[in-house]
């Protein structure tokens, strides 16, 4: 048995909304990761078993290493299919918002979702959920939204409706948001759930290989370039920084997802507890922050760049130049010395 962490009244409310609805839209955050896709597709597969008409809409493309996920081929990318997505949103009678806490994280999809006048359900594990949905299931103590989806389906009495495709999606989200169960993964019930998923036929070793061992040569060369030429260490602050400009990315034929995980690498250096990765995109710089122990990556993201996230994994965007963004970061490092262990 796993403990009942979602409040009973919320379970009933969601169940009621699902039973009333036919056309259900599931949305998630920009730059969807394994948990965004895993929770969305997990819920999608479940709703299919109820003979609903669910559709997953993601603001921007998901990375190639998630192409194999069952149902991924049906996911609508808003940026690429705005007209059709808008039609789905206009025709929806229920919207699920998964794996993010504030509308801004939906990027260009936010306005379209907020403009709809149908019940909305937020299911998420980030701190401080904003008040933009009718029902809020927020559990920051859990390491993934996918785990919440598993718990929700079970609590609605529908464990038997979790098919292999659904189980694979849920497992993927649980695995990717914990770095393959290397962080945020000490809760015993994670493994009770995994045990159930394996019983349903999930091949966890195969999913690991599909997600983590299918990179392109270009990505590996880009990683080598980062580590050799672009990684700066600040020993007195136990910090590391990797930056990549748009020009450097193009040298390595950068594709969405190619820099996934780069931010974690410096944490494997003894004496580095805080790692930052900055990547120059079309119109902004995307920042990723990772830390070990009690150093608050989310505080730095929020204080300096109006971002947020979890204690050990956070993100933000900067609209300044790369050099100004780096300067701002370097100048602020001294202020966080007291947080070092």
Contact string (CB under 6 A) for ligand 5GP, positions 234-273, x = contact: ----------------------------------------
Residue 168 C-beta: closest distance to ligand 5GP, Å: 21
Alpha-helical runs (H) found in 67-216: 82-91, 110-115, 145-155, 164-176, 188-199, 204-212
DSSP three-state, residue 317? strand
Does 124 bind Mn ion (CB under 5 A)? Our answer is no
In this chain, which stretch among 68-76, 213-221, 238-246, 312-320 interacts with ligand 5GP, using CB under 6 A?
Answer: 312-320
Query: Which residues, numbered 93-152, are part of the site for ligand 5GP (CB under 6 A)?
Result: 126
Asked whether position 168 contacts Mn ion by CB under 5 A, the answer is no
Sites for Mn ion among residues 64-103 (CB under 5 A): 99
CB of 24 to Mn ion, least distance (A): 20
In the complex, the smallest distance separating the C-beta of residue 104 from ligand 5GP, rounded to whole angstroms, is: 7
Q: Which of 296, 278, 281 is nearest to 337 (CA)?
A: 296
Partner whose binding site includes residue 314, from Mn ion, ligand 5GP, none (CB under 5 to 8 Å by kind): ligand 5GP
State the burial class of residue 224 (Cβ atoms within 10 Å of its Cβ: 0-12, 13-18, 19+). exposed
Q: Round to whole Å and give the CA distance between 251 and 234.
A: 27
Given a contact cutoff of 8 angstroms between Cβ atoms, the answer to whether 121 and 97 are in contact is yes
β-partners of residue 318 are 285
CB of residue 159 vs ligand 5GP: minimum separation in angstroms? 27
Residue nearest to ligand 5GP as judged by C-beta position: 315
66 contacts ligand 5GP (rule: CB under 6 A): no
Q: Does 35 bind Mn ion (CB under 5 A)?
A: yes
**For the chain, what is the total number of helices (H) and then of strands (E)?**
12, 12
- Annotate each residue in 17-56 with x if it binds ligand 5GP (CB under 6 A) or - if it does not, as one string: ----------------x-----------------------
Told to check if 314 binds ligand 5GP by CB under 6 A, we report yes
d(CA 71, CA 69): 6
The residue count for the chain: 341
Q: Tell me the β-bridge partners of 246.
A: none
Beta carbons within 8 Å of 218's beta carbon, 6+ residues apart: 252, 253, 254, 255, 258
CA dist., res. 124 & res. 136, Å (int): 8
CB of 33 to ligand 5GP, least distance (A): 6
Question: Least Å distance between CB 257 and ligand 5GP?
Answer: 11
Binding of ligand 5GP at residue 288 (CB under 6 A)?
yes
| Nearest-angstrom CA–CA distance, 314 and 195 | 29
Asked if 279 is part of the footprint of ligand 5GP (rule: CB under 6 A), the reply reads no
Per partner kind, with CB cut-offs from 5 to 8 A, the member of ligand 5GP, Mn ion, none near residue 280 is: none
Which member of 92, 166, 242, 316 binds ligand 5GP (CB under 6 A)? Answer: 316
C-alpha angle 219-224-225 in degrees, rounded to nearest 5: 95
Distance CA 185, CA 190 (A): 7
Supply the DSSP string of 199-241, one letter for each residue: HTT--HHHHHHHHHS---HHHHHHHHHIIIIIEEEEGGGTEEE
Find which of ligand 5GP, Mn ion, none residue 288 binds, CB within 5 to 8 Å per kind: ligand 5GP
Q: Please, are residues 89 and 59 in contact by the beta-carbon 8 Å criterion?
A: no
Number of residues located near ligand 5GP, criterion CB under 6 A: 12
Taking residues 128 to 147 in sequence order and writing x for each that binds Mn ion by CB under 5 A, - otherwise, the string is -----------------x--
Query: Residues 28, 51, 16, CA angle at the centre, nearest 5°?
Result: 70
Cβ at position 35, least distance to Mn ion in Å: 3
User: In the complex, which residues of this chain contact Mn ion (CB under 5 A)?
Assistant: 35, 99, 145, 177
Binding site for ligand 5GP (CB under 6 A): 33, 126, 288, 307-310, 313-317
């Amino acid at each position: 048995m796993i403990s009942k962490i979602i409040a009973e009244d919320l379970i009933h409310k969601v169940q009621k909304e699902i039973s009333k609805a036919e056309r259900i839209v599931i949305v998630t955050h920009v730059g969807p990761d394994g948990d965004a896709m895993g929770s969305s597709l997990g819920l999608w597969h479940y709703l299919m078993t109820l003979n609903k008409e669910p559709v997953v809409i993601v603001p921007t493309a998901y990375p190639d290493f998630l192409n194999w996920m069952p149902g991924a081929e049906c996911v609508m990318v808003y940026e690429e299919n705005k007209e059709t997505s808008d039609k789905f949103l206009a025709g929806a009678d229920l919207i699920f918002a998964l794996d993010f806490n504030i509308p801004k994280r939906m990027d260009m999809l936010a306005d379209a979702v907020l403009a709809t006048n149908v019940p909305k359900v937020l299911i998420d594990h980030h701190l401080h959920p904003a008040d933009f949905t009718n029902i809020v299931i927020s559990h920051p103590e859990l390491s993934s939204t996918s785990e919440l989806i598993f718990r929700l389906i079970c609590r609605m009495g529908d464990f038997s409706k979790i098919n292999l495709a659904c189980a694979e999606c849920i497992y993927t989200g649980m695995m990717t948001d914990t770095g393959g169960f290397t962080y945020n993964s000490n809760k015993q019930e994670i493994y009770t759930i995994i045990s159930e998923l394996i019983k349903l036929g999930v091949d966890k070793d195969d999913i690991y290989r599909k997600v983590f061992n299918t990179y392109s040569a270009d990505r590996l060369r880009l990683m080598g370039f980062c580590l050799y030429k672009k990684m700066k260490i600040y020993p007195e602050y136990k910090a590391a920084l990797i930056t990549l400009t748009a020009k450097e990315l193009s040298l390595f034929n950068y594709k969405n997802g190619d820099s996934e995980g780069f931010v974690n690498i410096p944490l494997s250096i003894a004496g580095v507890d805080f790692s930052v990765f900055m990547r120059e995109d079309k119109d902004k710089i995307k920042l990723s922050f990772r830390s070990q122990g009690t150093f608050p990556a989310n505080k730095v993201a929020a204080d300096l760049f109006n971002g947020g996230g979890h204690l050990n994994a956070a993100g933000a965007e900067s609209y300044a130049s790369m050099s100004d963004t780096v300067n701002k970061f370097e100048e602020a490092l001294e202020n966080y010395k007291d947080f070092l262990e």
